[in-house]
Amino acid sequence: MNIKSLLIGSAAALAAVSGAQAADAIVAAEPEPMEYVRVCDAFGAGYFYIPGSETCLKINGYVRFQVDFGRSSRGVQGGVYNAGANTANSSLTAAAAATQRDEWDLWTRGNIQFTAKTDTELGALTSYIEIQGSQSVDDTASGDNTFGVNQAYLQLGGLKAGWFNTYWDAGLAGETDDLASVAKNASIGYEYTADAFKVGVFLDEIEHSMTRGTRGYRNGYHNVGIEAQASATLGAVSIALLGGYDVEVEDGAIRAIATAAIGPGTLNVGGYYSTGINAYGNEFEWALSASYALKATDKLTITPGYQYSWNAANANKTAFTGTDDWKAGVLFDYQVVTGLNALVNVQYQDSADGVNGWFRLQRSF
């Protein structure tokens, strides 16, 4: 009886100890909820919220492989003939370089763009950085082998400041027209948008646009330019009127571009006038251009173009010569798969008496 009582008492004691130990066991803390990347649709497709903030970020860019061909094709980027640029990396004279034909060059470019946007009481706050690098075996002196910031700007509502493509960077569809001028400037300005209408005015630093000595006139310190554009989209028709004034030389240029969806494609027409050699117009006094972007299939777009110019500038861009010129060409753009396009560009220019162009593969993301 005593042994039985002892065994029962021992079992009860062990149960009590086990219960106490279980009560004292360490309980693991609940993990913090993980914050996954959220899609931001406030500013269009491709944006996501930066974790822990209300800022939306978009990352995009492209990788481009290109083969330039034609007379002294890589003497100037984009397959446009320029004998002087060809001699920069060889012992050829300009006259000898002008006889060079059937040249070609391969080059590659990488481009990545970061756009950050936040909604504020004063409008969207935007910052944009574009980094770009190009690499080619030839013509390092002409700037092909480069890497750096291609564009960078900040914008609050309509106020924009930084280094970026100006209004003059835009042209017609295709690769034939020369209506674009200085592609980028250090600028600050404001663009007002109201439904289908836009009006913008920007102040540019334009000293880099006209190299002193080479152009022969930028010897002062008034390296200031003013550009303004008014544009409207009315149904299938878009119109943009642009003007630029070079303060130092007291000359400027104006340009008008109109596009309209007609038939299976889009018609593009443009006109240009320059009062004299200036940062916004140094190729010719007058020019008219037209192109038609034909949507041949769901994947293929064919864009023929033509341009006629009056009173072209001399080689150093110091004066108009009184000579006229014309060029014609066609661009084929085929979408191989989503994100990958193959393009062929062929152009003929009367003054150069030759055909130039390029073949391009571009993967965009």
Cα(69)–Cα(356) distance, rounded to whole angstroms? 6
Q: Which two tokens stand for residue 272?
A: 């240009």
Radius of gyration for the alpha carbons in the chain, expressed in angstroms and rounded: 31
Whole-model pTM?
0.79
Asked if 248 and 218 touch (Cβ cutoff 8 Å), the reply is: yes
Higher pLDDT, 83 or 334: 334
Asked if 295 and 233 touch (Cβ cutoff 8 Å), the reply is: no
Q: What is the mean pLDDT of residues 12-38?
A: 59
Which residue in 214, 68, 62, 209 sits closest to 144, CA to CA? Answer: 68
pLDDT of 261-302, one tens digit each? 999 999 999 999 999 999 898 889 999 999 999 999 999 999
- Mean pLDDT for the chain overall: 83
Which residue in 276, 232, 231, 222 sits closest to 253, CA to CA? Answer: 276
pLDDT of 117-134, one tens digit each? 999 999 999 999 999 999
Q: What is the mean pLDDT of residues 127-156?
A: 84
Q: Which two tokens stand for residue 227?
A: 């550009």
pLDDT of 331 > 90? The answer is: yes
pLDDT at 79: 39
pLDDT of 156 > 80? The answer is: yes
CA torsion sign for 96, 102, 103, 109 is positive
pLDDT of 181-196, one tens digit each? 767 889 999 999 999 9
Asked if 293 and 301 touch (Cβ cutoff 8 Å), the reply is: yes
